[in-house]
Structure 1
Amino acid sequence: MRAFIKTLLAEIKKQHKNYFHSKIIYISLFLWPLLSFITTYYSFQTFDLMKSNVIYITQGNVIIYLLIGYMVMSFFRSLVQSAWNFSFERVSGTLELIYLSPTNRAAVLLGNAVASLFESIIVMLVFSVFMLILKKEEINANVIPCVVLFLIIMVMASLWGMFLNSIFLFSRDSGFLFTILEEPMEIFSGVKVPTELFPVWAKVLSVIFPLTYAIEGTRRVLLLGSSLYDIRNLIFISLIIISILISSIMIIINKVEKHTRMTGNLTLF
């Protein structure tokens, strides 16, 4: 465990120096989702939201509704981008050095995910909390469901990052995954438009992304005051996703380890 934690902290420090070496980068990480959020908010003003038949969205709380979507999306989007950047570790030769060392492979993947998760979203998170306080009259939430859901989202987002890291690192060219998981994740996870309003084919796509359940649960807890019992199905699905991600990560790591020892090549697929 001590070696695992040491590797985890070392990877977090390394990623911080590689990608967050300048304070200016935090401005870009804040402006991009903020401008997208503002554009979407004013687009919503042209519609009569009372006719949407979505139980937790009204004309008065639309800014909170959208803010929740963009806030939660920031957690997952940052990990898609970091996994794509992490794939260049192999090009630079860093990955080979890691595999020549006795470091824990899972700790390396987790360290990258955790570093990107917190550093990429910290500015957006502060802004979101400020807006939630400013519009607190629209918030109807209990403390315990919020804390439990936050922890589940943190775990699920970190494992999502580890899973993407494992795929991006050990494939010949996973660049297409960046295209598939970047914009489609935002569109089909209900960040802007509630999944209840999707056609059937879009609803089928929405169930693929863990972000869908994270956003839905957060909106129900913050806007409807839902209890843990009320969102039990979303929690159960999230726990299943967490189990699947853990299993997939360990399978890929072990398979790549065996493949590397036999062939001397880190490319698995």
Structure 2
Amino acid sequence: MRYFLKVVWAEAVKQHKNYFNNRTIYISLFIWPLFSFLSAYYSYSAFDVEGTLVSYINGKNILVFLMLGYMAMSFFRSVVQSAWNFSRERQSGTLEYIYLSTANRLAVLMGNALSSVFESSIVMLIFGLLIVFSNCDSINVNTIGVSIVLLLFIIMALLWGVFLNACFLYSRDTDFLFTILEEPMEIFAGVKVPIAIFPAWAKIISLIFPLTYVLEALRQVLLNGASISSISNTIFACVAIIVVLLSATLITIVVVEKHMRKTGNVVLF
């Protein structure tokens, strides 16, 4: 375990030096989601949302509702972008060094995801927490529920990043994957609009994204004071997704390595 964590840390430090070596980058990482958030908020402000969306959204907590969506989205968006950047490892030749070394493959992927999850989202997270705390009177919090859901949220974001790192690293057309996983996730995961008011076909698409489940659970325990038992189905779905993502990543690593040893080509699909 100590060796595994050492590899994770080394890869995280490497990615930090590659992509976060300038402090001004944190400003750009904050401005884009901030403008998107403000655009969504002022779009809602033109309408009377009291009782028109779902039971736990009203005119007082709509700001927190949207802020939770954009905070969560910033975590999941960051790992999609980091996986896209990680795909350049094939072009720079770093990937070959990874496979020639004794470094644990899963630890390398996890280190990259871990670095991006926290560094790319830290400014948005701080801003979001300030918004939430300044609107405490408009929320209904289940403390135990929040603790459990936040833990699931962090694990899911990290494993979603690890899985995407594996996919982007071994895929020939990463631009295509980036396109279908970036903007559609914001639209269909309920970041701006509650899943409950989606048409049936949109609800089906939303089931693809892990963010859908954990974001709904997060809003329920923070805005509705929902108990763990009342969102047990969502919790079980999150746990199942965690197992699936980890299993899919491990299988991908094994299959790619066998393919590479047989063909000499790291690109699997």
The TM-score range, normalised by the shorter chain, is over 0.9
Number of the residue aligned with 2:16:
16
Distance 1:123 1:153 in 2: 18
Unaligned segments of structure 2, at least 5 residues: none
Task: Verify: 1:66 aligned to 2:51, yes or no.
Answer: no
Distance 2:41 2:58 in 1: 13
Distance 1:53 1:254 in 2: 46
Task: Verify: 1:45 aligned to 2:65, yes or no.
Answer: no
> Per-residue displacement from partner, 1:41-76 (whole Å, max 9, x unpaired)?
001011221242401110111101100110111110
- Return the offset for 1:158: 0.5
Equivalences for 1:211-230 in 2 at 5 Å? 211-230=211-230
Number of the residue aligned with 2:2:
2
Amino acid aligned to 1:259? H
Number of the residue aligned with 1:91:
91
Q: What secondary structure is seen at the aligned counterpart in 2 of 1:125?
A: helix
Q: What secondary structure is seen at the aligned counterpart in 2 of 1:50?
A: coil
Equivalences for 1:141-156 in 2 at 5 Å? 141-156=141-156
- Return the offset for 1:261: 1.1
Task: Verify: 1:76 aligned to 2:76, yes or no.
Answer: yes
Distance 1:29 1:174 in 2: 21
Distance 2:52 2:77 in 1: 27
**How many pairs are equivalent?**
269
- Return the offset for 1:2: 2.1
Task: Verify: 1:231 aligned to 2:223, yes or no.
Answer: no
Amino acid aligned to 2:11? E
Amino acid aligned to 1:232? S
Report the CA distance shift for 1:53/1:130 in structure 2 as closer, same or farther (over 3 A).
Answer: closer
Unaligned segments of structure 1, at least 5 residues: none
8 A Cα contact 2:51 2:57, kept in partner = no
Number of the residue aligned with 1:266:
266
Q: What secondary structure is seen at the aligned counterpart in 1 of 2:50?
A: helix
8 A Cα contact 2:188 2:203, kept in partner = yes
Runs of 4+ in 1 over 4 A off after TM superposition: none
Q: What secondary structure is seen at the aligned counterpart in 2 of 1:230?
A: helix
8 A Cα contact 2:110 2:162, kept in partner = yes
> Per-residue displacement from partner, 1:167-190 (whole Å, max 9, x unpaired)?
000111121111101110000000
- Per the normalisation by structure 1, the TM-score is 0.98
Distance 1:3 1:268 in 2: 28
Distance 1:37 1:212 in 2: 18
Distance 1:53 1:61 in 2: 12
Task: Verify: 1:166 aligned to 2:155, yes or no.
Answer: no
Amino acid aligned to 1:9? W
- Per the normalisation by structure 2, the TM-score is 0.98
- Return the offset for 1:228: 1.1
Amino acid aligned to 2:257? E
Task: Verify: 1:113 aligned to 2:105, yes or no.
Answer: no
Amino acid aligned to 2:87? S
Distance 2:106 2:76 in 1: 19
Amino acid aligned to 1:62? I
Distance 2:121 2:52 in 1: 30
Number of the residue aligned with 2:100:
100
Distance 1:45 1:139 in 2: 18
8 A Cα contact 2:53 2:194, kept in partner = no
Distance 1:231 1:199 in 2: 22
Distance 2:47 2:25 in 1: 35
Report the CA distance shift for 1:239/1:53 in structure 2 as closer, same or farther (over 3 A).
Answer: same
Amino acid aligned to 1:99? Y
Amino acid aligned to 2:259? H
Distance 2:124 2:167 in 1: 27
- Return the offset for 1:151: 0.6
